[in-house]
Structure 1
Amino acid sequence: MAYIIGMVSQKGGVGKSTLARMMAREFVAGGMSAKIADLDTQQQTCTYWAGRRAESGVAPEVQVQSFATVKSAIEDSARFDAYILDGKPNASEQTYEIARASDLVVIPTGQTVDDLHPGVVLAHSLVKKGLPTHRIAFAMFKITGSDRENAAARSYLEQAGYPVLPGDVPVSTAYGSASDIGKAITETPFKSLNQRAAMLAQNVIDAMAERAA
């Protein structure tokens, strides 16, 4: 039976699909079978990324498939060790279906209130619909170099009642360049950036295993 991770957000541009691709790559590189279910049938961000990865000959291969519904996606999950549900970039009924099906729901966010507030609103709505708070975790994405701003963002989320995963991913053009050729953000030419992203990936894995136990 697969570990299922749901990647959801209240708004676009916070790193949801980037995080999904990173996690899938790390699972496969670690010897696990993994797949991304791309549930954003309009943008298909992960699906097109997988195509670029195949065209560029990047290894290891990462499986991605587009699905119209969460139900059809879940039917395919049992064949994998880890299964990642990448939802639409806005809250909808699909978001709640993803949350119910997942062992861990990850909400990526930047460090400004414009990103933090919508994320907390989404988390509150999931809890209101019956999702246990401990199955939600925030991931810090696209942060600046300010320790003070980063600490303030983490405090904002923790005061709202939600765990924040250790580690973060900074703003870097190298991450975007890697994505352009079908690579994950742990596959840039820069060791320090790769290690930073990999640390966040490991903390997602640890949180997933803890909540699924």
Structure 2
Amino acid sequence: MAHIITIAQQKGGAGKTTLAVNLAIAFVKQGQKVAILDTDPQGSLGRWFMARREFLGDPGLEFATASAWGVGYECEKLSRTNDIVIIDTPPKVDSDLKPALRAADLVLVPVGSSLVDLWATDGVVDLAQRVGKRCVIVLNRVKSGTRLAEEVATAAAEVEAGVAPTRLGQRVVYAETLGKGLAVLEAGKSAATTEVMALAKDVSALLADQE
């Protein structure tokens, strides 16, 4: 059965879809079979996948959509033929999020480089803990070397959730590749490729701990 990763954050614009696609392609590059599941009515993950199909022909991974309450069924189906399933969720915290949390082996919560983003994690972390799931914050769009970035990192460490060792920087290449149906690993070697591969390694270690 596949490992299931749910990406959740009640604040919009935190980078859930960016995190989902870049982790997905990182795992594909490692030789794993990957499926992505879009449960957000906005459909950004689906748009990325369709752009990818148009650009590459063979997208190299499986895609599905589900309503909130269809998550369990889709995860069960996708798990039969994949090693990793990544779920992208809507920007909200309510009963509709519970199925995606319950299905997960690991919940990742992207947090932008502001304390407002960090405050928005409380609901997700609380809900994940109530359904007995491990929750890890991923610091995203970090402006390296700034006082604000360090303040957010310090405050994140005090939240009742883990913090991934690797941070993703604020880099234009994330937005550029997303719009083309690609991931940063497919745009040539850069600082972004290094941090994405490092984050994938962090996530793999966290999943191994769950076994």
TM-score, normalised to structure 1, is 0.90
In 1, are the aligned partners of 2:157 and 2:163 still within 8 Å (CA)?
A: yes
Unmatched segments (≥5 aa) in structure 2: none
What is the deviation of 1:84?
1.0
Matched, 1:20 2:20: yes
Equivalent position amino acid for 2:138 in 1: A
In structure 2, the residue matched to 1:35 is 35
Matched, 1:88 2:90: yes
Output the CA distance in 1 between the equivalents of 2:127 and 2:86.
21
Superposed CA deviations along residues 26-65 of structure 1, whole A, max 9, x for unmatched, are: 122211111001111x211111101111111176622211
Output the CA distance in 2 between the equivalents of 1:196 and 1:81.
22
In 1, are the aligned partners of 2:24 and 2:86 still within 8 Å (CA)?
A: yes
Output the CA distance in 2 between the equivalents of 1:201 and 1:60.
19
In structure 2, the residue matched to 1:45 is 44
Output the CA distance in 1 between the equivalents of 2:143 and 2:189.
18
Superposed CA deviations along residues 100-129 of structure 1, whole A, max 9, x for unmatched, are: 1111000010121110001133212332x2
In 1, are the aligned partners of 2:52 and 2:59 still within 8 Å (CA)?
A: no
Unmatched segments (≥5 aa) in structure 1: none
In 2, are the aligned partners of 1:67 and 1:73 still within 8 Å (CA)?
A: yes
1:164–1:87 distance in 2 versus 1, CA, 3 Å: same
Matched, 1:171 2:173: no
Aligned residues: 208
Cα root mean square deviation, aligned:
1.8
Equivalent position amino acid for 1:24 in 2: A
In structure 2, the residue matched to 1:122 is 124
1:58–1:146 distance in 2 versus 1, CA, 3 Å: farther
In structure 2, the residue matched to 1:63 is 62
What is the deviation of 1:190?
4.6
What is the deviation of 1:192?
1.9
1:13–1:189 distance in 2 versus 1, CA, 3 Å: same
Matched, 1:188 2:190: no
Q: Which runs of 4+ in 1 moved over 3 A?
A: none
In 1, are the aligned partners of 2:23 and 2:196 still within 8 Å (CA)?
A: no
TM-score, normalised to structure 2, is 0.90
